[in-house]
Amino acid sequence: MVATSTTRAEQLDSIALEFLHNWNRGRRLIAVDSASPEQAARFADDVADTLREHGQTVLRISIDDAGEQVLRDLTIAPFRAGTLAGAEDPETVLVVDGRHVLDGSAHGLWNFRIWTLTGDELPHAAADVIIDATDEDAPTRYFYDYCKIPPSAGDRKMPWRSFP
């Protein structure tokens, strides 16, 4: 594990630039999740603001723990079709925070996934970016060797495995 700590603005700018490097055109989707819904929402707000500073059209949505099918039917599908209010521009970035938006098959809905740590919990193994945002002014980004994260980190349901 390698950690990098900078100011919040520098960390957000770095995340935005990484996202834009990899996903610079079209309808793009970012998910932000955390053990703390409030922390995830604050971080998602800041990611959206930073992307706007980089000239992106951004739609920002918070969802409850609605389940993957509801998320897919009410948010993702209309966004991709350009019928979701506020997402008519075909170059829009959708930034969503909510509980369990990285879990199970919902993981595949997103182009970019962010997990904010709230303490000593294991990071979500499905995240592209892992941030310890407990210090709001100077969040720390962690780069993990995902081979060392236990398979149960993040999504606790593992339907592809059966245990005795």
Rounded to two decimals, the pTM is: 0.85
pLDDT at residue number 124: 79
DSSP 2-54: EEEE--HHHHHHHHHHHHHHH--SSSEEEEEEESSHHHHHHHHHHHHHHHHHT
pLDDT at 153 over 70: no
pLDDT at 125 over 80: no
For domain 2-145, which CATH number applies: 3.40.50, 3.30.70, 1.10.150, 1.10.3470? 3.40.50
Could you state, in order of their start, the residue ranges of all structural domains in the chain?
2-145
Distance from the Cα of residue 28 to its chain's centroid: 12
pLDDT tens digits for 59-81? Answer: 999 998 778 899 999 999 999 99
**Beta carbons within 8 Å of 14's beta carbon, 6+ residues apart:** 6, 141
pLDDT at residue number 159: 43
pLDDT tens digits for 21-59? Answer: 999 999 999 999 999 999 999 999 999 999 999 999 999
If you ran DSSP here, which 8-state letter would residue 127 be given? -
pLDDT at 10 over 90: yes
Dihedral over Cα of 81, 93, 98, 157: its sign: positive
pLDDT tens digits for 97-122? Answer: 998 899 888 888 999 999 999 887 77
